[in-house]
Each structure stands twice: as C-alpha cells, then as structure tokens.
Amino acid sequence: MKFLKALPVIFAFLVLHSFSFGQTEIAAPKGHLGKHLGVDAKSLQFEERLNKMDPHSGWWDPVNSISLLTNLTRYVSFLMPDTNAVFVPDKSSENPDPYHFPWHSVGMVFDPSDPNLLADDNITQYTRYTRYTVDSVAFPYLYVRYADSIELNGAMEKVVDTLIIQFFTYDNLRVSTFTNPAEIFAVPENLDGNSLTYPNNAYTVKIPLTDEDSTNVPSTDGWRTKTWVQAIPDIAISDDPLVQNRNIAGFQFAFKTMIPINFGDTMETRDGSIPKKRLNYFGHSLFIGTQGFELKQTDKINNGFFTVNVQRYGETQNGWASNIPGNAYFDDRYIRGFFHTNTENLSTLDLESKTYGLGMAYPNPSRGSTHVDINYKLPNSQKVYFKIFDLAGNVVQNIATQNNHAGINSLTINIGNLSNGLYLYQMQTNGFSQVKKLVVNK
C-alpha cells in the first residue's frame, strides 16, 4: 500500500500537544471484577491456583508508550459518513495544507500485557493471565459545527449529528497474521454501510452531538481538540491461558451527519474561499511511525484499524474488506485512544510460589557502563532464563543461569555490544515471567 504513504502529510500549523478531558458523556463507574466470559474447566482450575493480590485501576495510553520506543508523527484525519467531501488547501503558503484522507470508522485494539507498553513509567504490568474489566474508553476529537439547523418539511430543525462508539472483546474480533513481515493483528469485520457499525460487538452507544460538543472552528493555528470519555458497562476480558491473545480489547468510533452530504460539497477551506454549503465534520488524531522502522507485533497485539471510503460501498482495497489494520500500511498507523481498566488480580503468582521478583537493572540508564547488574528473587533453587530484546522484538542476548538459590540472586550482564537505545529484558522460569526496560547510554 505504498500509494497511501503520502496520505496525509503533517499539518505544519497544528498545535495539538495537550489534551483536556473536556467532554464526559457519563462519569466512569468504579471498576469491579465483572462476569468471567468464556470460562472452561481448565481455566477455572487455573484461576483457583492464582494468588489474587493487589488491585489496579488506571488509564492506558498505548500511543504514548509506542512514541517512547519509535518516532511517531501526528496528523489530523477526518471521518466522512457518505462520500468524499472537498478539502481546499492553502496553496499560497510555503507549507501548504496537506490532503486529508477520509475514513468511515477508525478504531484500535490493545493488549495490556504487551511488553512494549512498559516503556511508559506510568504503566503497571499485566500478564496474559490477568483478568480485567474495561469500564471506559476515551479519545481526542475535533467536531467542527458550522450548520446548527436545517429546513425539514418547511420548518427549521435543530441539527443533531451522531457519534457511534463500539467496544469489542476477543470474541468480536478476527485475529490473523501477516506473512511478510510476520506480524499479528486484530480487526472487527463486516462494517454495515448504512449504520456504520459492526454487528458483532460487545457494546454499542449512539451519542447525539449538538453545538455544546463542538470544538473551535479551525484558524491559522490549526485545529484544537477535546477528549471524549465514554463510560461503558464493566466488561470482563478473559484471561484464558489456553487461548493466545484472548485478553485483548478494542473500540471504534464513527460519525454520521444529519445534513446529507452530496458529492463535491466542501468540508473545509484553508485558502480563504467560502463554500456554498458549510458542512459539520468530525476528526481524530492519527499517528504514523517513522518509515523504515516498525514496532513489530510478533507476540502481542496493539494495532489501529481503519475503514476507508472505498470500502464503505462494499469494495475492497488491495484485498482488504471492511477495514485495514494500521500495520498493513507502509508505516505503522495508530489512533490516539485510551482504555480505563480494573483488576483485582494484578499479580499472577501461584500460591505455591509467592516469592518471585525481578529487580530494576543498575545502572539504568547505563551512563557509560558496559555492564549492568540485575537482582531477582526465587522461592527455591531453579534454572532462570534472561532475554534482552531490541525495539523490533529481536532477541539480542540469551542468558541461562544455573546455580540459583532461594532468595535474592544477582546477575551481571555485559551490554558492551549493544547500541545506545531502549531495550526490554525478560526473566522467565517455569512458573514466572516479567519484563522491564533498560536504557543503554554509553
């Protein structure tokens, strides 16, 4: 899909570096462990062996974590419900406004056990065995409202546009793999062109938009965004250890206008011209990875997904129907989205093995040192494996330790052959696995 590479180009004048949770549909409820979905006998036996320890509640920001691992460039893109509206750029400036690329719905999938998320110091690690609930999702948005009323049957009626938010669990998503490069992804399927929804979903809410939801109209400073926070019923995400990637969650949003849009209508002008008919439109934040360096999804799933305009009418694009995963593009693509999760089972240590632990590497950052020390704790004498990964998910060091004892152990790792940058190191035994980050700075 290299032809998509240039769409869109960054708005040089955008000032969109700060978010305020200015729009709240309803208050996010306090999380509690919801009904366990998809339970079978084996997973119930596993659940009984878990040591339920510290509860955890907080927001996840996958894009922020990914931005700490690789360069992301931010754009603004738009949701168009019916056809391609016209965007008129300012061709007179040294940096003319770029083309926009129209979507019909956009969304994202995330897995809170992805080690890449640990690049963010505010992230608390989950594992694939952590059962959790999602009670809220959020995303930055812009809603430019030019038309506040429309004539219907000889009378002026208030314009009410519609924001549609849908939530998905593993059972509502198709998980598949790219062959070249080998990456995994998840997407919903079978977008309904009339309702702009996916029939297979865990929760759907349709929200009327009025002038109170509008952001400021664009100026020479660009577009300003708010952040929509949407509470949803507590939905339990399965921790079934027998099914890989079962504990993923996702959401999408779409936009439907009350005023019909005809082909050739003008969405926005940046050259000073005034269109015959002003359109209300809805936009979102889009992040694109640096060309040539992808954050590969080889084990966990964190991807954006987009339904482009040609697919709205039942067509396909390069073989993709209903949606295109963000990592199917020439560059990785993500929308800015947030998940609020709750768990009563943050720690997943077996009752018989309560004393595992992985310490922080020292020094970290390495600050010129060619070696780092790592302390780790074991309940008994056993073999321990350590791996160091680069940002592309490649194993750059493999270490097996034999002579371990119960209690605190220490390992010295030679990092002299590693380039400067961020790495992840993993400790793994027969009953425990944990990942932390290491910054090499020689």
What's the Cα-to-Cα distance from 98 to each of 10, 210, 269, rounded to whole Å?
A: 7, 28, 12
What is the distance between the alpha carbons of residues 282 and 378, in angstroms, rounded to a whole number? 53
CB atoms within 10 A of CB 442: 13
Q: Tell me: cis bond preceding 363? Omega within 30 of 0 counts.
A: yes
- Which residue in the block uniquely carries the two structure tokens 């060619």? 370
Please state the separation of Cα 357 from the chain's center in Å: 28
pLDDT of residue 13: 30
Hey, which bits of 266-346 come out as E strands?
Answer: 266-269, 281-289, 303-308, 324-325, 333-335, 338-343
Read off the amino acid at residue 302.
N
Distance CA 25, CA 330 (A): 36
- Residue 171 phi, psi dihedral angles, 5° rounding: -70, -15
Give the Cα-Cα-Cα angle 330, 335, 341 (nearest 5 degrees).
Answer: 130
Question: What is the C-alpha separation between 353 and 432, in angstroms, rounded?
Answer: 9
Tell me, what's the pLDDT at 344? 77
Give one DSSP letter per residue of 127-148, joined into a string: -TT--EEEEEEEEEEEEE----
**pLDDT recorded at residue 160:** 92
Residues making up the chain, counted from first to last: 442
CA separation for the pair 19, 397 (Å, rounded):
39
- Measure the CA–CA gap between 164 and 210, rounded to whole angstroms: 14
**Residues whose CB is less than 8 angstroms from the CB of residue 295 and which lie 6 or more positions away in sequence, other chains included:** 66, 69, 70, 116, 289, 332, 391, 392, 393
pLDDT of residue 228: 92
- The tens-digit pLDDT sequence of the chain (442 residues) is 333 333 333 333 333 333 333 333 333 333 322 223 333 443 334 344 333 446 788 899 999 888 877 788 888 888 887 767 778 877 766 665 555 677 899 999 999 888 777 666 666 777 766 788 999 999 999 999 988 888 878 888 899 999 999 999 999 999 998 877 778 999 999 998 889 999 999 999 999 998 889 998 877 677 788 899 999 998 888 767 667 788 899 999 999 988 888 877 888 887 778 887 888 999 998 998 866 566 778 778 899 999 988 887 778 887 888 899 988 887 788 999 999 998 876 643 333 345 788 877 878 888 788 888 888 888 888 899 999 998 878 899 999 988 888 877 888 899 999 988 889 899 998 878 888 888 888 7
What domains are there in the chain, each with its CATH number?
2-343 (no CATH), 357-440 (2.60.40.3080)
Question: Residues of 249-269 as b/e, b for ≥16 C-beta within 10 angstroms?
Answer: bbbbbbbbbbbebeeebbbbb
Residue 39, pLDDT score: 36
Contact status, residue 425 vs residue 374, Cβ threshold 8 Å: yes
pTM: 0.69
